[in-house]
């Protein structure tokens, strides 16, 4: 039995080593799109400068694996500390709470890259030691800590792209090879009835090799019948809302959302830009006429999505309704525009395989989907991540809301039915789409 266990662990270790190398390669490619002089810039004011994220990813790996499980002495205590955790933004107040305090002067890029490389070597040399702790440490069991660190890296690749998207054009270096854009017209949208039934949210702990604490325990809920849009709202549909005066009609906006958009002067989606008499759409590296991407899903904040839904006489789905529409009462999902298949949205309904045998298309991929559900733990929630107990609980504050599905920049490892993303209602930088529902 021990021999079989060792063989299995060896296979897992080889697989993990390959996954780490691939993840680091993608991370490095993303940082290569940022000019050196931009490393101290903050294109999104609520986040640290780019240099922080160069150090944060290896610091997280060190603090969780080498320090957290193996209790090894630090190779750079100062870097372990200053890069340990990012910013929790308060979008409404415009303030940020940093963990830890922001240093007066950030270390040089060369110094941080040297730290990164030493940590990467340490991670690749840690597998046998971590697996030897499997019986005594929940994070070592099944290499769980490695899956956590990898998924943390994948999530930050996407948030890093939010920042690169917002960065000034002259501060970016366009990759030599990028997929071409797709401009097909969108299929017709229709309301699809979803019958009353049960939805399983979350997962049982033993059913996943790794899951974040907010995914457990599994929760089965009854969901009343409802009708959901077959497709997400497109740029063209949202433009109709804007031209109809949607941003000026207080009756469509929740009170806090109205105060936010009035105070911040929000008059169009973050991804749109007005140039003379023409609306443009900002991709990561280009400006395209909005008319050309009319069939792409619109990316907006939850506040804007709620206002559009109210204009339509509808609402946004709950987390449980999303599950009913995407997975029925089971747990298998669909796929589409995700895992960097494209570096942009594609027209709604573009991939035939993302319908999963249903008339409701594009729930997973092409953009996260906003729900109206506040982010909170399921009954029986336990912050089990030994050295990251605050991961979810810090955000059970009534200000954060659940997003489901995936975007084009979401790694496939995160595309599981139980995975939950979350952001504040007034955070406009996410690759996040939405669709409307009505109660029957």
Question: Which 8-state DSSP code applies to residue 275?
Answer: E
Residue 355 pLDDT class (50, 70, 90 cuts): low
Q: Does some domain include residue 176?
A: no
* Residue 362 burial (C-beta neighbours within 10 Å; 0-12, 13-18, 19+): buried
Q: Does some domain include residue 180?
A: no
pLDDT of 422 strictly over 90 = yes
Average pLDDT over residues 73-77: 97
Domain-terminating residue out of 143, 171, 199: 171
Kindly give the residue spans of alpha helices, DSSP state H, lying in 32-143: 50-61, 77-82, 109-124, 127-131
pLDDT of 223 strictly over 50 = yes
Query: How high is the pLDDT of residue 329?
Result: 64
> Which residue shows structure tokens 């100062």?
78
Do 133 and 232 belong to one domain?
no
Average pLDDT over residues 146-153: 98
* pTM of the entire predicted model: 0.94
Do 295 and 374 belong to one domain?
yes
Kindly give the residue spans of alpha helices, DSSP state H, lying in 125-247: 127-131, 144-166, 235-243
Average pLDDT over residues 142-147: 97
Do 229 and 298 belong to one domain?
yes
Query: How high is the pLDDT of residue 12?
Result: 86
Do 131 and 195 belong to one domain?
no
Residue 206 pLDDT class (50, 70, 90 cuts): very high
Average pLDDT over residues 88-104: 58
Q: Does some domain include residue 186?
A: no
pLDDT of 369 strictly over 50 = yes
Average pLDDT in the chain? 93
Do 160 and 201 belong to one domain?
no
Do 242 and 383 belong to one domain?
yes
- Six-digit token string for 337: 């525009």
- Strands 367-374 and 432-433, by their bridges, are parallel
Choose among 317, 300, 314, 309: nearest CA to 253.
309
Q: Does some domain include residue 177?
A: no
Q: Does some domain include residue 178?
A: no
Do 80 and 203 belong to one domain?
no
Do 229 and 324 belong to one domain?
yes
pLDDT digit string (tens) for 304-319? 999 999 999 999 999 9
Q: Which residue segment(s) compose the domain that 203 sits in?
A: 191-439
Run of H or E including 324 = helix 319-327
What's the domain count of the chain?
Answer: 2
Residue 98 pLDDT class (50, 70, 90 cuts): very low
Do 156 and 204 belong to one domain?
no
In DSSP terms, 189 is beta-bridged to none
């Amino acid at each position: 039995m021990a021999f079989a266990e060792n063989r299995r662990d060896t296979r897992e270790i080889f697989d993990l080593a390959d996954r780490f190398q691939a993840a680091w390669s993608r991370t490095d490619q993303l940082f290569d799109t940022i000019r050196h002089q931009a490393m101290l810039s903050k294109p999104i004011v609520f986040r640290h400068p780019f240099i922080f994220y160069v150090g944060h990813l290896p610091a997280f790996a060190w603090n969780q694996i080498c320090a957290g499980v193996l209790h090894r002495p630090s190779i750079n205590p100062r870097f372990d500390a200053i890069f340990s955790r990012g910013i929790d933004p308060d979008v409404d107040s415009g303030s940020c709470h940093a963990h830890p305090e922001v240093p007066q002067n950030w270390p040089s890029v060369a110094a941080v890259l040297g730290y990164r490389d030493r940590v990467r070597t340490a991670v690749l040399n840690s597998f046998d030691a971590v697996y030897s702790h499997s019986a005594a440490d929940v994070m070592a069991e099944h290499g769980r800590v490695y899956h956590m660190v990898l998924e943390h890296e994948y999530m930050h690749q996407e948030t890093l792209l939010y920042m690169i998207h917002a960065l000034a054009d002259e501060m970016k270096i366009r990759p030599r090879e990028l997929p071409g854009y797709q401009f097909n017209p969108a299929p017709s949208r229709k309301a699809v009835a979803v019958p009353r039934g049960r939805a399983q949210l979350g997962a049982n702990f033993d059913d996943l090799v790794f899951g974040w604490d907010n995914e457990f325990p599994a929760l089965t809920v009854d969901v009343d019948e409802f009708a959901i849009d077959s497709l997400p709202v497109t740029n063209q549909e949202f433009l109709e809302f804007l031209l109809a005066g949607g941003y000026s009609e207080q009756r469509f906006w929740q009170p806090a959302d109205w105060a936010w958009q009035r105070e911040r002067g929000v008059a169009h989606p973050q991804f749109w830009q007005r140039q003379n008499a023409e609306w443009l759409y900002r991709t990561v590296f280009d400006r395209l006429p909005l008319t050309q991407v009319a069939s792409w899903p619109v990316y907006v904040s939850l506040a804007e999505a709620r206002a559009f839904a109210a204009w339509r006489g509808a609402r946004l789905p709950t987390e449980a309704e999303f599950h009913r529409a995407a997975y029925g009462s089971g747990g298998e999902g669909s796929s589409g525009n995700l895992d960097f298949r494209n570096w942009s949205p594609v027209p709604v309904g573009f991939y035939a395989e993302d319908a999963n045998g249903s008339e409701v298309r594009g729930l997973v991929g092409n953009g996260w989907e906003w729900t109206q559900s506040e982010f909170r733990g399921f009954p029986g929630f336990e912050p089990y991540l030994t050295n990251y107990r605050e991961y979810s609980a810090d955000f059970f504050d009534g200000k954060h809301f659940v997003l489901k599905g995936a975007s084009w920049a979401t790694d496939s490892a995160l595309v599981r039915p139980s995975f939950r993303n979350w952001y504040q209602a007034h955070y406009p930088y996410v690759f996040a789409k939405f669709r409307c529902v009505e109660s029957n």
